[in-house]
Amino acid sequence: MLIAIPQVLDADGVARVRALIDAGEWVDGNATSGPQAALAKRNEQLAEDQPAAVEAGRIILDALGRTPLFVAAALPLKVFPPLFNRYAGGQDFGIHVDNAIRLKRGSDFRIRSDLSATLFLEPPEAYDGGELVVEDLFGEQRVKLGAGDCVVYPASSLHRVEPVTRGVRVASFFWLQSMIRDDGERRILFDLDRAIQRVGAEKGQGDRAVIELTGVYHNLLRRWADA
């Protein structure tokens, strides 16, 4: 399930994050790569342990917690602290799959990566190329969103970032461990939640059918959740 989530950060939020990270120390993007990804990855990454990266990550985590569509789509249990990368001058990230377990350096924090996420921090008209291409059962899905928009997709997917041939592509990326491990079950809950919201808007949240459907949602969540 690939879900685009608009305006996780508003213009002010994007500006705050960019002010922090643009002044930070950028290093070779393979600082966090596994052995296969290192063969395909050509970009720069903000050093994750510096204060600018930590503070910018906090801004994004706070914004995600205030975004109902993100919570409904991901049902997050743990979120890896956001990282930041940029591509320019033909840099790209070839086809790869994300590691199943992500470890935060210098700590005992680890997550199972059920979902990957990219939050775009540069307007799409400011650069050429740089599309995130995710392969699924229905073929390739190409994603290039507005600054402040986020996309969430299964970390098990094969994906790549196309070469950036003009300008600079700047983004945050991170992984999530969901309360619902299975992508199919997570999709059922997401679709059910969206349907409940639509019916509730038409009939009111106190309508008997809305209450019963909400009960079905929570009973499925109770059955499937790892939390």
List of residues 6+ apart from 171 with CB closer than 8 A: 84, 85, 86, 118, 119, 120, 121, 122
Confidence of residue 36 (pLDDT cuts 50, 70, 90): low
The Cα 99–Cα 24 span in angstroms is: 26
Q: Which of 178, 176, 136 is nearest to 157 (CA)?
A: 136
**pLDDT tens-digit readout, 107-126:** 889 999 999 999 999 999 99
Residue 124 near residue 145 (C-beta atoms within 8 A): yes
pTM over 0.95: no
**pLDDT tens-digit readout, 129-140:** 999 999 987 789
Residue 119 near residue 149 (C-beta atoms within 8 A): yes
DSSP type of residue 84: E
The Cα 171–Cα 150 span in angstroms is: 9
Residue 162 near residue 194 (C-beta atoms within 8 A): no
Residue 162 has pLDDT above 80, yes or no: yes
Helices and strands in the chain: count of H runs, count of E runs: 6, 16
**pLDDT tens-digit readout, 54-113:** 999 999 999 999 999 999 999 999 999 999 999 999 999 999 999 999 998 888 899 999
- Give the side-chain half-sphere CA count within 13 A for 13: 20
Domains present along the chain, CATH in parentheses: 3-178 (2.60.120.620), 183-224 (4.10.860)
